[in-house]
Every structure is written in C-alpha cells, then in structure tokens.
Amino acid sequence: MRTQATTLVLAACASGAWAIPTFDEVRADFKPSDTLILSREGEVLQRLRTDATVRRGQWVPLADVSPALRQALVLSEDKRFFEHSGVDWRAASAAAWGNLWNQRTRGASTITMQLAGLLDGDWRQGPGGRTVVQKVGQTVAAQVLDRRWRKDQILEAYLNLVPFRSELVGIDALSRTLFDKAAHGLDDREAAVAAALVRAPNARPALVAQRACGVLRDMQQRPSTPASPAAPAVRVDCDALDLFTTAALQRRAFDASEGVAPHFARYLLRQRDKDSAVPERVATTLRAPLQRFAMQSLQQHLRELRGRHVEDGAVLVLDNATGAVLAWVGSSGQLSQASEVDGVLALRQPGSTLKPFLYAQAIAERRLTAASLVEDSPAQITTAGGLYIPQNYDRQFKGWVSVRTALAASLNVPAVRTLVMVTPDAFHRQLGAMGLPLRESGDYFGYSLALGSPEVPLLHLTNAYRTLANGGRASPVAVTLANGGRVSAAAPAIDPRAAYIVGDILSDGNARARTFGTDSVLATRFWTAVKTGTSKDMRDNWAVGWSERYTVGVWVGNASGAAMHEVSGTSGAAPIWAAVMGFLHAREPSRAPKAPGGLVRAAVRFGPGQPPSAGVLQPLEAARDEWFVPGTQQSLFAIDSIASEPYSTSASGQKVSKNAASTPMALPAGASARITAPASGTVIALDPDIPPMRQRLQFTATGDAVQWRLDGKTLGRGPRVAWMPWPGRHVVQITDAQGKVLDEVRLEVRGAGVVAAPPRAGAH
C-alpha cells in the first residue's frame, strides 16, 4: 500500500514536471516593469515605469551579461553547473550526509532546480521549507529542463527571473539600480555582490558583504592545471568591500522615468485601451534628432531669458499631411520648478493667436476681404455686463487699416470690431470645428474672445493652425506608427479659400513690418506663415505657424501662472519657433502653397489717409494685388467721410486736427497752443507682442511753432513728435520760442518697457 502511494506521488510530480514551458515561451511571457518609447527610427526616447508592484528591467541576453557575473554566479550557486544533468547528485549526497550528522553544509539546489521553482510555483520553497513532494517534483523538473533546454538558455533565464533584493527582479533591474550601469559592465566586485544577493536577497549589508568577499576570493583564485599548480590565495580587502556593499545597497539609481520625452510617454500610455496590457515597447511618430533639438533649443533660449522671470516652455511639431507628432517637449526640465507639468496639454490663454481663425471666418462669410478697411480707434461696445472698451496695449490707434494690416500687425480693436460682425457664438462654434472646443459658451467670453481670453492647450492650438495649413480641413493628431502610416480622415472646418488668404497674410513680411520690422526673427529664408500672441499681464507668450510640410507651436511662460518680465512676441517664443523651423528645413525646401480654385486675384488701391506734415494726402495703404473670394472683389477701398473729416483718433478719444490743407493749421492771433494728444491722465500699457524699440507714442499739438519738453528736457519741435515710452510717470509740456509753457499733460507708462537707463530726451 505504501509503495502504491509513493508511486502515485512520484507520478504526480513527474506529470507536473513535464509541463515545463520552452525557453521561447518564457522569453515571450517576460514583462518588464517599464515601457520603452521608441522613435520612428527605433531609438529609445523614453523609459517609463508602468508596473509599481515589481521592478524588472529589460530581458538581457546571456551574451550581454559580463563574464565576471557569470563566473560569480556559477561559483556561488552551482560549481558543477556545466557538468551535471540538472541535479548535482554529489552535492545532494554531501548535504544528506551533513544533515545526518547535524553538520552545516551548503544546500544541493542547483541553478537548474532553482529555475524550475521560478517557472512553476508548485516547486517554490515556502516559509517552512519544501515538502518531500516539492523536493521530488523539483528534482524531476530540473532533469526535464536540462534535457529540453541548453545550458546557456538555463543560465540566461535564471539571471533574468531570479529575485535579488526587495522589489528587484532580474539582473537588469539590479545592475541599473545598485550599480547604475548595464549588466555587461559589471566588474568582479559588483558581480560578487550580485551573486551574494541571490543566496540571501534581504540579508543585512554586513552579511551580504561577508558572502561577497568569499565569492570574490573564489573568483580571483586561478584554477590549477597539470602544467601550472594552483596559485596562492589572493588577499581580498573585505573591509573595503563591506563599505562598497553598504553604499550599493542604499543606492536607487534606476529612475522611474528616463529620457527626452517624458510628457509624451505619459500622454501616449494614457491613450491606450484601458483593458489592454501595458506594452513593452511602443513605436511612435517622434523623430529622435528633432526631439532632442527642440528640447535643447527651448532650454538654451530660456537660459538666455534668465532674469526675466520665465522658466517654463513647450514645443510641438506636427506633420501637416498625416498629423503625426514629430516632437513633443512638455517642459524645460531642470530649469523648471514644475517640470512634471506638461506645457503641451496645460490650459493657457492664447492671446492674439486666435485672430487668424476669426478673420478666416469673416472672410469665409463674406463679411470682410483682405483689403477691407477696419477702424483702429476707441470703441465702446454695449454688453449685458456693461460697456466693453477694447484697447491696443500701447493705447495708440492706427485709424483705418486693411484687414491684411490689422491681422499681420495684430491690432486688437479691429479684431473686436470683426467679432461684433461675426458674433461670439458663431466664432465659438468655428473654434470648435477647428479642434478648439471651449468649456464655456461664446456668450460667457463675449467680445474678449477675439483677444484670446479662453484657455486652450498648445496641442489643440497647433493642430488648429495645421487645419489652416491643410486648406481648412481638420483631422486629429497621430502619435504611434500602429496604423501603418495611414492618414486619419479629415473633415472640412472652414472655407479653403479663406484659409489660404489668412495664410497669405501671415506669410506677408511687408504687412508684418509695420509692427515687427522686415528683419525680425519671424522672417525665415523659406516660406512660412506665423502668428505670435501674448496673454493678459504677460503670463503666456506664443508663436505658432506652418511651412509647406510642418506646423510648429511654441509656448513660454511660467507653469505657476506668474507674469514674465519684458518678454515680447519676438523675444519669447518666436526665436524658438524660428530655430525649430530652421532645423526642419535645413535641407528641405518650403514653397508657398498654390491658391485653391475659385479665388480671384485683383489689383486694389486705397483712398487717402491723414496728410503728413508736408501736407500731401497719401493713400491709406499702398496699391497692391489682393486675393478675394469671388463676388467680394473691388478695385478701390476708401472711407466716404475721409474727405470732409480726415481725422485720426487718439487714445483719449480726442480728435487730432487734420484737414486737406497742405500745411498744419496755424493758430489765430492771440490764441494759445494746446496739446491735443495724449490727454492728461492717460495710462499707457506697452504691447508685449511688439519689440519695445519699435513702439512709439505720438504727441500732437495745435500750431507749428511749439517746442516739446518731457520731464523738463527737450524732446523736439513742431506740431507732432514721436517718443519711445519707458515705464514711469511723466510730464509733457509745449513751450513757445521764449520757453514759456503753453500747455502741459501728465501720463503714466506701464508694462514691458525698457528698464535700463532711459534714453535722453530728444532721442527718437
């Protein structure tokens, strides 16, 4: 009866042992605790921990394990590993004899037997040791494993599956955590510590060091041969090894995330199906060289802005045709105090970067053309909450300007007047169609919607500009190569003719010159269309634009929402945008797009504007060829009342006297000259989108025989002078030839002005 029971037990053990998986099955089932994010070239861009229960690295082939570690492991755990057939019967006999005489001997468990226990939980040792059934089953399984697997496969699987210490499993996790290197770089001392940890993973550092010292001594003892007797024992400094082991066991060099695309990696893994397994590797659309360049450009430029209270930024690059994300830099990294915040996804106020969509809608609805005249003058718009009074940041107004100039020069008041025509609700719907869904309604934002009062992420804003680049057709972005490069279906979002006209305006260096000059950083050597923007109180600065093939969006600011100091549209995000665009087109041309069918190109001219001091009436803008949606074209654009009242409007709302006479109006006898602009008490806020050196405030007065003084210093003479403002409170006076003060106004300048020593009065 007892014999039959024993036979049944052995049969049960044998049946379980024969279920050992193959080496390829074990390798395929291995799951690291990290996911590798790969570029389209196959380069690892980011490693991100995705399993918090265990710490496994990548599977390491035996050829990539240092010879020192292989030697240390065999010497420590199984000296006859390459000789026995899975079970070391000699060691087993010695262990049994020692147990019989109560002598402490090393266990007889071989590497193959330990691997069998790792592969099948039935053979693993419990708190009270293994039962007889487990011992028999493990012995049978080890012999089966040795017959089916090669020795190198057994050793490779063991090194990748064995627990070393705490949560660390496998040699990759151990070597990167404790020694901050790959497994192929472990030296003799590190290999000895690793082998000692196999025997007692959670032992005290002193005990681990003691065992490592014995392993290291065995490693450094040369084996004897018939021609060469055994070398004398090598002296090992165990005290030094103790210090080294203690320090290594305290190190945690294997970070949870490492690479150049941490924010993109987290976004990517959040997009996967929640029921699917976490992938070991993900092939993405990112370009490795571009990702690194974008990150370096952002960090370099923010270092140059040090002292201006700006430490955060983000860069996004999209492929126009496919929507593939080619670069995603969510933070400035070590320069930021909030490096975990993803600037590509963070909600920020876009400022003037929404204006292209507004003008595109107005042109598509045939409310405006690129040559239509809009008035840049004080406006008071009645709303449910009271009067809305939009202002340009510099409190200067340009009078009547074309839509081309208003958009390229980023004038605020014309944009608000355009939104009055379009209505906030209609513009709100248009932004949604462009991929910019807003949480609140159009009525919630009101007319401030034209100036970028809602909050949007850089991801959606850049993709909306990509919609303009694609002729008004919107499609989602792509982040992986899983779809084989197929392009997502695009839906019409806006009239392609209007999208083309807006792109033509944003690429027009001449139209932009009035604000930014002809040699600004926005003027690339190849075709691009670009728009800058700055939010209220200078908290966000943007540059978004596209070329023939790419769309690039850049944001700089502070994750905390704190205001920047002296960061304008061309000094903040624009240099980074230009650098990334230059990198993309270093060897790739960018040509202007072809006009879509149905557009009309016609010559236009403009009616007269305000006369210069010479008195000759000049047209509002120079004659040019302009694009029109069919049915909206005309040859002359003028204001009916311009002949009878050709006045420009000052910031205070006062009229600056100008008529069709060839000379400025002379004062009647006995009349006193007066300052007509600016009004006393005016507060001037400098435009953060315009370089400070290009901002000027116009002083005007009645009469021509007057002299101007600013804060007691001579500023100029004549009825009109221009002054580059700087922050502070100032007194402006006009005097006669004898120095008698005829009129005086006081004003205050706020905002991103020049904080260095102010220029002497009289400089222009």
pLDDT at 65: 96
**Which SS3 state, helix, strand or coil, does residue 398 take?**
coil
Give the DSSP H or E segment for 628: strand 624-628
Please tell me the distance from the alpha carbon of residue 717 to that of residue 701, in angstroms, as a whole number.
10
**Which SS3 state, helix, strand or coil, does residue 71 take?**
helix
Q: Which two tokens stand for residue 430?
A: 């248009």
The pLDDT of residue 654 is above 60: no
Helix 67-77 and helix 111-119, axial crossing angle in degrees, nearest 10: 90
Share of the chain above pLDDT 70, in %: 79
The pLDDT of residue 484 is above 70: no
User: Which residue from 131, 156, 130 is spatially nearest to 145, judged by alpha carbons?
Assistant: 156
Using CA of residue 202, residue 205, residue 206, residue 210, what is the dihedral sign? positive
Most confident of 77-86, 575-584, 673-682: 575-584
Q: Is 239 exposed, middle or buried (0-12, 13-18, 19+ CB in 10 A)?
A: exposed
| Mean pLDDT score, 404-418 | 91
Task: Residue count of the chain, please give it.
Answer: 764
Please tell me the distance from the alpha carbon of residue 674 to that of residue 563, in angstroms, as a whole number.
38
Cα atoms in the Cβ-side hemisphere of radius 13 Å centred on 624:
17
Please tell me the distance from the alpha carbon of residue 354 to that of residue 430, in angstroms, as a whole number.
11
Look at 159-168, 191-200, 267-276, 575-584 and tell me which has the smallest mean pLDDT: 267-276
Look at 61-75, 198-212, 538-552, 668-682 and tell me which has the smallest mean pLDDT: 668-682
Q: Do residues 378 and 412 make contact, with C-beta atoms less than 8 angstroms apart? A: no
CA distances from 122 to 102, 130, 278, 317 (A): 28, 10, 27, 53
Q: What is the pTM of this model?
A: 0.77
pLDDT at 736: 87
pLDDT at 278: 82
Higher pLDDT, 610 or 58: 58
* Other C-beta atoms lying within 10 Å of the C-beta of residue 662: 11
Please tell me the distance from the alpha carbon of residue 657 to that of residue 665, in angstroms, as a whole number.
8
| Mean pLDDT score, 110-128 | 73
pLDDT at 130: 55
* 300: alpha, beta or left? (left if phi > 0; alpha if psi -120 to 50): alpha
pLDDT at 336: 92
Vertex 31: Cα angle to 27 and 34 (nearest 5): 135
Q: Do residues 701 and 719 make contact, with C-beta atoms less than 8 angstroms apart? A: yes
Q: What is the pLDDT of residues 606-642, one digit of tens each?
A: 988 655 544 556 788 999 999 999 999 999 998 864 4
Higher pLDDT, 573 or 689: 573
* pLDDT band (50, 70, 90) for residue 27: very high
* pLDDT band (50, 70, 90) for residue 256: confident
pLDDT at 461: 98
User: Which residue from 248, 221, 249 is spatially nearest to 236, judged by alpha carbons?
Assistant: 221
Higher pLDDT, 634 or 134: 634
Please state whether beta strands 741-750 and 682-685 pair in parallel, antiparallel, or not at all (unpaired): parallel
Q: Do residues 724 and 753 make contact, with C-beta atoms less than 8 angstroms apart? A: no
Mean pLDDT score across all residues of the chain: 83
pLDDT at 18: 61
Q: Which two tokens stand for residue 308?
A: 């201006």
Report the first-to-last Cα separation within the chain, whole angstroms: 114
Query: Which DSSP string do the residues of 418-463 spell out, in sequence order?
Result: HHHHH-HHHHHHHHHHTT---SS-HHHHGGGGGGT-S-B-HHHHHH
The pLDDT of residue 79 is above 50: yes
* pLDDT band (50, 70, 90) for residue 456: very high
* pLDDT band (50, 70, 90) for residue 93: low
* pLDDT band (50, 70, 90) for residue 537: confident
pLDDT at 487: 67
Q: Is 204 exposed, middle or buried (0-12, 13-18, 19+ CB in 10 A)?
A: exposed
Q: What is the pLDDT of residues 697-740, one digit of tens each?
A: 888 888 777 899 999 888 888 888 888 887 889 999 999 888 88
Which 8-state DSSP code applies to residue 587? S
Look at 259-273, 382-396, 451-465 and tell me which has the smallest mean pLDDT: 382-396
* pLDDT band (50, 70, 90) for residue 108: low
